[in-house]
Amino acid sequence: MYKRKLLASPFMVMILIGTIIPLCAIGYYGLTDELGGFTFENLLAIFEPDHLKALELSLILAAVSTIICFLIAYPLGLILRDSKLGEKGFIIFIFIIPMWMNFLLRTMAWQTMLERNGLFNSLMDFMGIPFVEIMNTPYAVVLGMVYDFLPFMVLPIYNVLSKMDKSVIEAAYDLGASKLKVLSKVILPLSVPGIVSGVTMVFVPSLTTFVISNMLGGGKINLIGNIIEQEFTVTNNWNLGAGLSLVMMIFIVISMAFIAKFDKNGEGGLL
C-alpha cells in the first residue's frame, strides 16, 4: 500500500509548484509594497471608490447572468429529462457543442451581431421593433456572459435531474401532491447539488471575467477583472493587482465553502 501512495507524488509536485507556490507568490505580492515592505494597503485598496464601484458592478452583472442562466437552464433540464426525443445523449450533446467552440470566437460572434448594422439590429428592424442599442452597454455584457456560460449551468442541472429516483416523484403524486407542489417540494430540493455547482460554475467566471467586458463593453464597462488585468498589463502596479486578486479570491473561497456544504461527496455535478 505504501508504494501505491507514491504514485500520487507527481500530482503532489504539480500541485505544489503549480498551485500552492503561485498562491503564495500572489500573497507575497499582495501583502508587500513596491519596495518589499509589508503592508495591507493593496488589500484595503478595494475600498477606494473606483475599485468598489467596479466590484459592485461585477457582483451585480455576475448575479444577474447567473440568475438568467438558471432560469433558462432549469426548465430546459426538466424538459430534457422527460423527453423521449431519440437518444438522450444526443440531445444533451447538441446543447453542449457550443461549449467546445473557442470562447473568444463565441464572444466575437455577439460583437459582430450587435454592431449598429449587424444582424441583430437588422432583425429588429425587419420585425418593426425600434432601434435598440445594446452594444457597449451592461446589457451586452450580461448577454455575453449568459451565452458563454449557459452550458455550465445546463450540464450539472441536467445530470442531477436525470439521475433522480423517479419512484420518489411518483410516490409524491400518489400521495396526492399537485404538479407545482412536486416541483417545489420534491424535485427542486433534490436537485440542489446540481444547482449549486451550476451557480458556482457560472458565477465565478462571470465575476472575474475581463474578456467579455472588454469585447462587448466597448471600454465603457469596467469590471474588477478589468482593473486587475490593467494593473498587470498597463499600469504596471503588480502589488495592487495581486492585492485585488486576493480580495477576489475571498469571494471565490466563499463560493467554495458554499459548494462544499451542499456537495459532500466531493464529486461535483460536473460531467
Partner 1 sequence: MKKIISFVLIAIMALSFSSCGRASEYIGELHVYCFGDYFDPELMYKFEDETGIMVVLDSFDTNEEMYPVIKNGTADYDLICCSEYMISQLIAEDLIQKVNKENIPNLKYIDEKNLKMLESIDEGNQYAVPHTWGTYGILYNTDHIKKGEITSWKDLWNEKYSNQIIMLDSLRDAMMIPLKILGCSENTLSEEEVSKATDLLISQKPLVYKYANDATRDLMIGDAADIAVITSGEVLYVQDCNDHMNYVIPKEGTEVWSDCWAITKSTKNKEYAEKFINFMLRPENALANFEYLTYAIPNTGMYSMMDKEYLNNEVLFPSDETLERCETLVTLDADTRKMYSRYWKKFKAI
Partner 2 sequence: MRKGLKGIYIGLVLLFLYLPIGTLMVLSFNEGRSMAAWTGFSLHWYEEMFKSRMIVDALYNTFMIAITAAVVATIIGLLACIGIQAMSNRSKNIMLGLNNIPLLNADIVIGISLMLTFLMFGISLKYETVLFSHITFCIPYVILSILPKYRQLSSSTYEAALDLGASKPYAFFKVMLPDLMPGVVSGFLLAFTMSVDDFVVTHFTRGAGINTISTLIYSQVKVGVRPTLYALSTVIFVLVLIILVTANIISNRKNR
Residues 120-139 contacting partner 1, CB under 8 A: 133, 135-136
Looking at residue 49, its amino acid is P
Among 108, 177, 183, 186, binds partner 2 (CB under 8 A): 108
Residue closest to 209 by CA, chosen among 99, 72, 104, 52:
104
Separation of alpha carbons 174 and 112, rounded Å:
52
Tell which positions 192-221 bind partner 1, by CB under 8 A.
218-220
CB of 4 to partner 1, least distance (A): 23
Cβ–Cβ < 8 Å for 209, 223: yes
16 CB neighbour count, 10 Å cutoff: 11
Burial of 89 (0-12, 13-18, 19+ CB in 10 A): exposed
146 CB neighbour count, 10 Å cutoff: 21
Residue 249 contacts partner 2 per CB under 8 A: yes
Burial of 111 (0-12, 13-18, 19+ CB in 10 A): middle
Beta-carbon contacts of residue 245 (< 8 Å; ≥ 6 apart): 26, 30, 228
33 makes contact, choosing from partner 2, partner 1, none, with CB < 5 to 8 Å by partner type, with none
Cβ–Cβ < 8 Å for 238, 31: no
CB of 14 to partner 2, least distance (A): 6
Q: In degrees, to the nearest 5, what angle opens at C-alpha 121 toward C-alphas 61 and 59?
A: 0
Whose Cβ is closer to partner 2: residue 2's or residue 165's?
2
Whose Cβ is closer to partner 1: residue 54's or residue 80's?
54
CB of 96 to partner 1, least distance (A): 22
136 makes contact, choosing from partner 2, partner 1, none, with CB < 5 to 8 Å by partner type, with partner 1
Residue 218 contacts partner 2 per CB under 8 A: no
Tell which positions 167-196 bind partner 1, by CB under 8 A.
none
CB of 256 to partner 1, least distance (A): 28
Separation of alpha carbons 158 and 204, rounded Å:
20
Map residue 38 onto helix, strand or coil.
strand
Whose Cβ is closer to partner 1: residue 19's or residue 235's?
235
Residue 10 contacts partner 2 per CB under 8 A: yes
CB of 222 to partner 1, least distance (A): 5
Tell which positions 49-108 bind partner 1, by CB under 8 A.
49-51, 53-54
- The size of the interface with partner 1 (CB under 8 A), counted in residues, is 22
184 makes contact, choosing from partner 1, partner 2, none, with CB < 5 to 8 Å by partner type, with none
DSSP 32: B
Residues that bind partner 1 (CB under 8 A): 49-51, 53-54, 115-117, 133, 135-136, 218-220, 222, 227, 230, 232-236
